[in-house]
Structure 1
Amino acid sequence: METAGIVVLLFVLIFVALATVASVRTVRAVKRSVTRGTAQARRAVEDVQLKARRYTTPGLGGEVAQLRIDLRTAIDSTFAALDAHHPEDTALAEAASLMARLNEHARALDGELKLLEREPDKSRVAARLPELSTRVHHVTHSADSLRWAAQDRAHHATTDDLAGLTDQIAIESAALRHWTPTQPPKLPAPGE
């Protein structure tokens, strides 16, 4: 009887331990999901604010907002293009690595532009804007170059695959259409 009690107690302890582990993992997953969702919501709100600021703030403020929009658009669309083809093309791993490094520069530049948006001294904004604009142009050009290369690579791979498939289908179609008429079997004569 004592052994049965120990076995039941062990099963209860194992069940409690597994339930605790499952609960902790679930809580962590929910926490990550909420954090990710919050970051995405903040980013969406900030993007809408930038677009509104571009049209409502005349002069330098609108230019700074436009630079931030251009920078974010180039980075986001390049990440989307690389992510769309990265799992199926291992050659894009190096491009993804370079894009991650470029993204760090873009984040730093976006931070500088964000500070510049809040700068009350318009002469300071006007003095810094050409240099920051040049840097934004370099980052967006680099991101665009990676995105276009990834898109060209995907298009080329698709075109090559389609050409190969078309050739195989033509061969198979010809084989299906090629037949030699067979002689009908000779039936025995009625008296045979």
Structure 2
Amino acid sequence: MEAALIIFALMVLFAFLGLGTYATVKAVQAAKRGVDRTITQARRTVEDTTLRAKSLGQVGVTAALAQLRIDLRTSMRSTQQALNDGVRLDASLKESIGLFERLSAHGRELDEELKRLEQEPDRKRTADLLPDLRERTAKITQAADSLRWAARDRARRFAEDDLSVLSEQIEVESGALRDWSRPPVDDLTATAAAWDAAQAAGQEAPTPTPAPTPTAPTPTAPTPTAPAPTALNPAAPATPYPWQKTRRPESTT
């Protein structure tokens, strides 16, 4: 029994050690990826700054090559970011990303060639290659720009369609809210008039007609006036509305 407990404790200990080792390896790998990302970004920033300095501070072949690299890298980087951002909302862009990866292979090849030509001592031969290099750069950047703008136009169209549907739904809901919130003035007026008429019919009493004044010198007795007939079905007193206050009975004391 003691041996089994010892073996179980050792297994638990090894399991914890294995988990600790796995977590440590994962943390080290994540830190390494973060460092590599930082180094890559820093190297890219340095290269971009150097290329801009060459394109502005120098003339001739060196400045032309630097400008071609700037145009190429800017277009490819913007397209890559646009596609990666768009595929999170639109899965159909995965095919576009596949095409861009194939285009990126040609872009990297051209960028490496331009980079090598920056160190080429034969400037005359490099100058002869510039027309072809410009044409290749234009083809790649135009293809990348086409993918980028197509992805942006697609996202904008989806946003406009969604906004149109949302606007229609809001208009319908607004109309329903206006119908419910508008006070029924006509109904209230008709109800108040009916209530006033019922109150007047229940409280009005018959008034006796006065006898005519005699004109002869000898006075005559006035003719008695018959009382007004009483209604067979007198109107019932109107039922008070909930917002009316009930009068308290007057004290007889």
TM over 0.5: yes
CA shift digits 1:62-97 (9 cap, x unpaired): 010000000000001111111221111012111111
Give a deviation string over 1:36-78, Cα, whole Å, max 9, x none: 2211211111111001111112111101000000000000111
Unaligned runs of 5+ in 2: 196-237, 241-245, 247-253
SS of the residue 1:160 aligns to: helix
Q: Secondary structure at the match of 1:119?
A: coil
Aligned pairs for 1:9-20 (under 5 A) are 9-20=10-21
Q: Which moved more, 1:79-88 or 1:1-10?
A: 1-10
Q: Greater share of helix residues, 1 or 2?
A: 1
Percent identity at matched positions?
45
> In the aligned structure 2, how far is the partner of 1:95 from the partner of 1:17?
42
Taking only aligned residues, the RMSD between alpha carbons, in angstroms, comes to 2.0
Comparing 126-135 with 16-25, which one deviates more in the overlay?
Answer: 16-25
Report the CA distance between 1:160 and its aligned residue: 0.7
Q: Which moved more, 1:65-74 or 1:85-94?
A: 85-94
Task: Check if 1:188 corresponds to 2:189.
Answer: no
Residue 103 of structure 1 pairs with residue 154 of structure 2: no
Shift of 1:7: 2.4
Using the alignment, how far apart are the partners of 2:36 and 2:43 within structure 1?
Answer: 11
Q: What is the identity, as a one-letter code, of the residue corresponding to 2:108?
A: R
**Equivalences for residues 9-158 of structure 1 within 5 A:** 9-158=10-159
In structure 2, C-alpha distance between the alignment counterparts of 1:6 and 1:119, rounded to whole Å: 70
In the other structure, the counterpart of 2:202 is none
Q: In the aligned structure 2, how far is the partner of 1:141 from the partner of 1:9?
A: 64
Give 1 or 2 for the bigger CA radius of gyration.
Answer: 2
Size of the aligned set, in residue pairs, is: 191
CA shift for structure 1 position 4: 2.9
The range that moved more, 49-58 or 64-73, is 49-58
- How far, CA to CA, are the matches of 1:25 and 1:120 in structure 2? 47
2:20 and 2:92 map into 1 onto residues whose CA distance is: 43
**Deviation of the 1:2 alpha carbon:** 3.4
CA distance in 2, matches of 1:14, 1:146: 50
Q: Give, as a single letter, the amino acid of the residue that structure 2 aligns with 1:124.
A: R
Measure the CA separation in 1 of the matches of 2:61 and 2:130. Answer: 8
Q: CA deviation at 1:6?
A: 2.5
**Which amino acid in 2 is paired with 1:63?**
A
Supply the distance in 1 between the matched residues of 2:26 and 2:85 (Cα, whole angstroms): 29
Q: Tell me the SS of whatever aligns to 2:91.
A: coil
C-alpha distance in 1 between matches for 2:107 and 2:3: 68
Structure 1 unaligned segments of length 5 or more: list them.
none
TM-score normalised by L of structure 1: 0.92
Question: Which consecutive segments of 4 or more residues in structure 1 shift more than 6 A?
Answer: 184-187
Q: Which amino acid aligns with 2:137?
A: V
Q: Deviations over 1:150-172 (max 9, x none)?
A: 11111111111111100000000
Deviation at 1:138, TM superposition (A): 0.3
What SS is found at the alignment partner of 2:88? coil
Q: Give the counterpart letter for 1:119 in structure 2.
A: E
Q: How does 1:146-185 map to 2 (within 5 A)?
A: 146-179=147-180, 181=184
Q: Which has the higher contact order (CA 8 A, sep 6+)?
A: 1
